[in-house]
Structure 1
Amino acid sequence: MTVLLDIDQLRTFMAIAESGSFTKASEVVHKTQSAVSMQMKRLEERVGKPIFTRDGRASKLTDEGERLLDYARRIVKLNMEAVASLANAELSGRVRLGVPDDYADRYLPEIMARFSNTHPNVELTVVCDPSTDLMDRIDTGDLDLAIITDCDNYHRSETEIIRREQLLWVGSIRHALHLEPTVPLALGRQSCNWRQEAIKELQSLGKPFRILYTSSNSTAVSAAVLSGLAISVLPESGLRPGMRVLGPADGFPPLPPCRIGLLRNRHEPSALADALANHVIQGLDNISEAQAAE
């Protein structure tokens, strides 16, 4: 008898695998923890093998779970592509997307091109602001969707985590600022979580530093790095030619990963916003696959 896998169960399975916890996954998929546990019990019954094992308080994948995860990602992605290309081809109107400029250069070109090809009659309005401002604009109804950095100090339970990236120290490949007694830094504004993490890590090491440039614009921060004026903190997708990643051997401690999430306007849901959300998720998945191939 052929076993058919349930798409919703696979999405929950992926959330657990990525977060390492049934509790955290329940927030991502907007289900109770008991509902998540029941879904995974049924999924294990479908595949006939255990897919999770306990490691302290965390949930780790078994070998069979690792194999299933690869298939789950492909199945869910193909499902979203099919829905986007067939169900909403006739949509028209306007949809508003917010994104921090840290991600705009890397993510938007592919997302906008694919969305425009699929929905040629839709007007896409893009707003570039810091994540905290985008959250406020979602709450006031000024945006339909927002791509945000989801951090511990302003985590929103309704945020869908769609990508994780390592946060990195970066400098110019042509300069050696990391050898200076007092490290010059180019960072975001004071509310920026990446700035707070960078300062906390340097202070914990007792490493002298000074804030040389402050800007919420990633292009300006990158310019300071590439010109050899300062060191900064960027996610993997923000690396540019001419930048050098700095690690413990250079005197810089490891930084935590950053979570990239999708926040929806829950007060005014729309088919247009759902269609764009599918393209955002697909676009980030495509970037992840391309980086893995490299």
Structure 2
Amino acid sequence: MLDDKAPFNLPLESLRTFAAAADTGNFTRAAEQVHRTQAAVSMQMAKLENEVGCRLFERMGRGVALTFEGETLLKYARQILDLHDEALAAMTAPDMEGRVRLGAPEDYATCFLPGILAAFHAAYPRVLVEVFCGTSRSLAKRYARGEFDLAILNHPAPPEDAAAQVIHHEPIVWITSGEHGVHEQRPLPLAVFHEGCPYRRWAIEGCTERNIEHRICFVSPSLTGVLSAVRAGLAVAPVGRSTAGQGLRILGEQDGFPALPSTTVCLHQWVDRQHGIVNGLANFIMNRMG
């Protein structure tokens, strides 16, 4: 552990890289986020472990997972980085004003945006933020027409947009009500999003591969609708892990449910709009959701 007699500090660059590695579970993907080489990230993390005097990561195949000490440091790293970025924004452009239009899927708008928007408003109190929610499919079309300055979108595969910044990789999981046994029914009742949603396709393909007899009993374009059906004990559903809140149980291999893929969550920003308050909101989103 740390020697309290030796001078010591936690460099912001190291903490930012550490948070990226923790979120991605992979030094290569972390290197992409912080614009370094994989070798540089590995050296930086080895140096950080040496400085704090304990292991922060367990090496697992090609990936990494946090140790207990790593989990502890991550909580403080996030707070330090958030405060640093908010202070920097507040001091560099406190009087900036204007409008930013953001498109975001309902699940991320519900889970992440309240904290992001509160912090952004504290730094830029004179900026108007317009948030538009919908499915990633519909939001992508509107973004392509130039209706948004920024868009948070889910991608079942790496996006074609070279300017897209990867925020994180969201695991898709099966959820059921914690108070009902609907997941044991056959045919298995499913609550899914509308046709074209990759979550829906993955769930049906997974049931077919496992020979799980199933039927679609509830369809909704919104996360709220799908979760309502699950909480009522009417069905199980495939959703992003970050949206599996209280009262819900995640089903896994031990329950007879196949693992589902992950989506790549990206922040899209027009090249000609990479300035001022648009950049400011983009940085808050990357730092808070990443």
Structure 1, residues 153-205: CA drift from partner, whole Å, max 9, x if none?
Answer: 64756444445554332233454322222112121233323223222322221
Say which is worse superposed, 33-42 or 73-82, in terms of deviation. Answer: 33-42
Q: How far is 1:126 from its partner?
A: 0.9
Report if aligned partners of 1:150, 1:156 keep a CA contact under 8 Å in 2.
Answer: no
Is 1:201 the counterpart of 2:206? The answer is: yes
Q: Which residue of 1 aligns with 2:186?
A: 181
Say which is worse superposed, 182-191 or 10-19, in terms of deviation. Answer: 10-19
Are residues 20 and 246 of structure 1, via their aligned partners in 2, closer, same or farther at CA, if it must alter by over 3 Å? closer
Structure 1, residues 212-262: CA drift from partner, whole Å, max 9, x if none?
Answer: 333331122223323433221223432355544434454323444555443
Residue type matched to 2:110 in 1? D
Query: 1:95-114 counterparts in 2 under 5 A?
Result: 95-114=100-119
Q: Which residue of 2 aligns with 1:251?
A: 256
Are residues 4 and 226 of structure 1, via their aligned partners in 2, closer, same or farther at CA, if it must alter by over 3 Å? closer
Q: Which residue of 2 aligns with 1:77?
A: 82
Residue type matched to 1:103 in 2? Y
Q: How far is 1:57 from its partner?
A: 3.9
Q: Which residue of 1 aligns with 2:153?
A: 148
Are residues 169 and 44 of structure 1, via their aligned partners in 2, closer, same or farther at CA, if it must alter by over 3 Å? closer
Q: Which residue of 1 aligns with 2:221?
A: 216
Q: Which residue of 2 aligns with 1:290?
A: none
Residue type matched to 1:109 in 2? P
Q: How far is 1:128 from its partner?
A: 1.1
Q: How far is 1:38 from its partner?
A: 7.3
Distance 2:62 2:249 in 1: 37
Say which is worse superposed, 247-256 or 89-98, in terms of deviation. Answer: 247-256
Are residues 158 and 5 of structure 1, via their aligned partners in 2, closer, same or farther at CA, if it must alter by over 3 Å? farther
Report if aligned partners of 1:106, 1:238 keep a CA contact under 8 Å in 2.
Answer: yes
Is 1:122 the counterpart of 2:157? The answer is: no
Distance 1:60 1:109 in 2: 28
Distance 2:8 2:178 in 1: 53
Q: How far is 1:268 from its partner?
A: 1.3
Q: How far is 1:206 from its partner?
A: 0.8
Are residues 95 and 167 of structure 1, via their aligned partners in 2, closer, same or farther at CA, if it must alter by over 3 Å? same
Say which is worse superposed, 91-100 or 158-167, in terms of deviation. Answer: 158-167
SS at 2:273's partner residue? coil
Residue type matched to 2:95 in 1? E
Report if aligned partners of 1:147, 1:261 keep a CA contact under 8 Å in 2.
Answer: yes
Report if aligned partners of 2:23, 2:168 keep a CA contact under 8 Å in 1.
Answer: no
Q: How far is 1:277 from its partner?
A: 2.7
Residue type matched to 1:78 in 2? L
Report if aligned partners of 2:157, 2:264 keep a CA contact under 8 Å in 1.
Answer: no
Are residues 24 and 237 of structure 1, via their aligned partners in 2, closer, same or farther at CA, if it must alter by over 3 Å? closer
Distance 1:221 1:247 in 2: 19
User: What TM-score do you get using the length of structure 2 for normalisation?
Assistant: 0.76
Q: Which residue of 2 aligns with 1:14?
A: 19
Extract unaligned runs of 5+ from structure 2.
1-5
Distance 2:25 2:206 in 1: 25
Q: How far is 1:122 from its partner?
A: 1.2
Distance 1:248 1:46 in 2: 39
Extract unaligned runs of 5+ from structure 1.
286-294
Q: How far is 1:96 from its partner?
A: 0.8
Among all aligned residue pairs of Structure 1 and Structure 2, give the percentage whose two residues are the same amino acid. 39
Is 1:237 the counterpart of 2:237? The answer is: no
SS at 1:28's partner residue? helix
Q: How far is 1:269 from its partner?
A: 0.8
Taking only aligned residues, the RMSD between alpha carbons, in angstroms, comes to 3.8
Report if aligned partners of 1:167, 1:257 keep a CA contact under 8 Å in 2.
Answer: yes
Q: How far is 1:20 from its partner?
A: 3.8
